[in-house]
Every structure is written in C-alpha cells, then in structure tokens.
Amino acid sequence: MRTYLYPNASEWAALTQRPVQKLDQLRAGVQQTFDLVQQRGDAALVDLAAKFDKAELKNVWVSEEEITAALPQVSEELKSAIQLAYNNIKRFHEAQREVVQPVETMAGVNCWRKSVAIQKVGLYIPGGSAPLFSTLLMLGIPAQIAGCREIILATPPGADGSVNATILYTAHLLGITRILKAGGAQAIAALTFGTETVPAVDKIFGPGNQYVTAAKQMVTQLGVAIDMPAGPSEVLVIADDSADADFIAADLLSQAEHGPDSQVVFVTNSEKQLQNVQAAVARQIAQLPRQTVAQQALNNSLGVVLTSLEDAMAFSNLYAPEHLILSVENPVELADLVTQAGSVFMGHFSPESVGDYASGTNHTLPTNGYARNYSGVSLDSFVKKITFQQVSREGLERIGPAVELMAEAEGLHAHKNAVTIRLRKS
C-alpha cells in the first residue's frame, strides 16, 4: 500500500485515479464472441463452454433434475443464513415501491407517473472460485418485487458441466427456473441477441470479469440496457484515533480479496493510526486463503494522512468510492458531508460485509468513480417510469392558448394545430 502524508489538495486528483482498465484491447475478442453466438446460437455456447470452462455440455440449460439434486448439497446453516438475508433484502426493497400520485397541474389537466416492470431481464452471476450467490439475491429479489415477466439467470458451469449448488438453491428460493450455463462475453451475447432457446432480454444486470464488463458496455450501443458501468470492487475507509486498527485492516482486506485489480483506500487524520493499520494488514493478510490476490490489490492501493476529517471527506467525495466506511467517533456528523458514494457504512460495527450479504441494502454498486452520477441497483432499476396525462375539454380551453403560442414561437405549426382544431370544435 502506497502512503502519502498530508498531500496538497492539488495532488488529490492524481491520487484518486484508478488503475487503468484496458477495455479497448478486449473489444476485438468480445466482438468475435458476439459474432459466433449470433451466427451459431446454442452451438456456439457449447463450444465456448468447452474452450473457456473446460465443460462438455449436453444442454445449455440447467435441468429441473439438476436443481432438485443441488438442494440437499447446501447445509441447513447456510440455507438459514440465505433466508435471513432474503428477508432483509426483500423488506428493504419492498419499501421502495412508488405509489401512484395523480397531480392536477391546473383545473382539468391531470398528470401522473406509474412504475411498470421491465418485461425481460438477464441476471449474470459469476461462478468459478467465488460463486456470488449473494449477488443473485441482490438482483433476483427486486426483479421479483418489480414483477419482471421473464427472468433469465446466466452463470458459468464448472468443468463437470454443473452449476454451483448454492447458486441453484438461491435461484430455487427466488423461483427462477430458467438458468443458462454460460459465462463471460458469450453469456452477455446470448442475453443480448438471443439464440434458438435463449430469449433476448431488455436489460442485463450483474458483475463479471473484464470481458463481461467490456461486453456489457458494448451492448448498450445495440439497444440493450445494463445496470451500470462496472469495474473492479473498491472501498475507502475514513478513520480517526477512536477506530480499531484490526477492524479497519479486515475491511480493507475484505475488498482486496475480490481480485488483483480491486482497490482499497485508507484515509485518516492520524499518522499513528496509519501505522497501526498497516501493521494489522500485514498480520491478517498472512492468514488469508486468497493472500496472493489480496496482495496484488494492495499494490494498487493507498493510505493517506490528511489534517482533518473534513479534508478526508472531501478526498472521499473526489474519489467517489463504491463503498465508504466511516470508522470515526461521530459518523452521523461526518455522513452529512457525503455527496458521492455508492453505499455508506457508519460506525465501528458496520463492516462493509454486512451490506454485501444481509443488511438489506443492495450491493450492486457503481465503481470506478461512477458514484458521481450513478446510483446502486434498487427496485427502480427493474422498472420504467411511464408518465400519463388526461386533459378534459375545459382543461384544454385553459391550457391550449399557451401551447398554441409556444408552438408557433418554435415554428411548429402542426403542434399548434393539434390544439387549435380541438378548440374550434369544442
């Protein structure tokens, strides 16, 4: 972890730069995958599973028998933990339902807005060494609440052609039965273009590796929406002398173990605290099974000492972290200064891990500085907001003359006439 003591504010912008993502270099390979899936459909998915996942697939879909066989493989303790998380996530997202509120903007002119579910959504869930069944909860629950008509889950198979049992259990809990054995850019291609058995979807959700990230960005130019631009995971921790260095080190490492391109940032107003945290990180990383991955991430990470917590918060707002932890004596006061972050964890006993799994908030969040202009996934991500208006004859008589004048001033005479012809006949 690189350290910086009291850097001048003019240096902050350079310090907040993420490691460069070379997505442009991946586009040619992703386009080849897109072309294969468009041309050969399911057969391309089978071939690409053999190439990338070393799996020989007889069918690109998970069968009902596979789901049934997976359920007993998940321990009762883990099932209970998943159920607890399910309940909290569902409760939090159900509270986001928007009530239709008609507004009479003037006598006889009524307007309202209604949330309508996106009809077909694709949920991409990584597998491999870190099968993110928690992400399936975060995406599947709001999709379920929104009322999406068709939910397609795509996740890569293992070398034996099977899908992780906990992912299948979680899908079963959510009532998701259409599970595609596809990972990487080929999964995004199948969800975008469709195949002989895979329906094309309207919006794609979920994290993934650099190829998935590049593929998702590319399909936005093809009429398919995505949840948000996404990159490697990240956390920024602000702490004062009241914080426990062991807690902070654990929080930093919890993000560092995601991948070698993850980034963690520690900002404090205490040189002593920085030294304590660095020592705690060194102790804890030696015990991690994913030590090599975490160490690579730490090489891209930094510790910064600034003169005050207010400066630390200004630095954080410039960085716009995916996750922000306020491990300070008065987190409520400091939280009032937050303007740019994906999700905020307040106080010494609010590790980022609780948001990743079970507190109820969504862990699918903007990374790479996109917290400046994107929100995390919510119920709103799975709906469209459609506006309605109904104007009575009397209402048109009141509003019509203003519309006629405005349309004529813009030189749009047919617009004016659409009002005029009605007023004349009324």
Q: Is 363 annotated as a binding residue?
A: no
Among 234, 257, 322, 404, the one annotated catalytic: 322
Among 323, 352, 363, 404, the one annotated catalytic: 323
Task: Please confirm, yes or no, whether 323 is among the known catalytic residues.
Answer: yes
Q: Is 172 annotated as a binding residue?
A: no
Q: Is 96 annotated as a binding residue?
A: no
Could you tell me the strand order of the sheet in which 263-268 lies? 2-5, 302-305, 263-268, 234-239, 323-327, 343-346
Q: Is 186 annotated as a binding residue?
A: yes
Q: Is 233 annotated as a binding residue?
A: yes
Task: Please confirm, yes or no, whether 93 is among the known catalytic residues.
Answer: no
Q: Is 25 annotated as a binding residue?
A: no
Q: Is 255 annotated as a binding residue?
A: yes
Q: Is 261 annotated as a binding residue?
A: no
Q: Is 415 annotated as a binding residue?
A: yes
Residues contributing to the annotated binding site for Zn(2+):
255, 258, 356, 415
Binding-site residues, in ranges, read 124, 186, 209, 233, 255, 258, 323, 356, 410, 415
Q: Binding site residues for NAD(+), as ranges?
A: 124, 186, 209
**Which residues contribute to the annotated binding site for substrate?**
233, 255, 258, 323, 356, 410, 415
Q: Which residues are catalytic?
A: 322-323
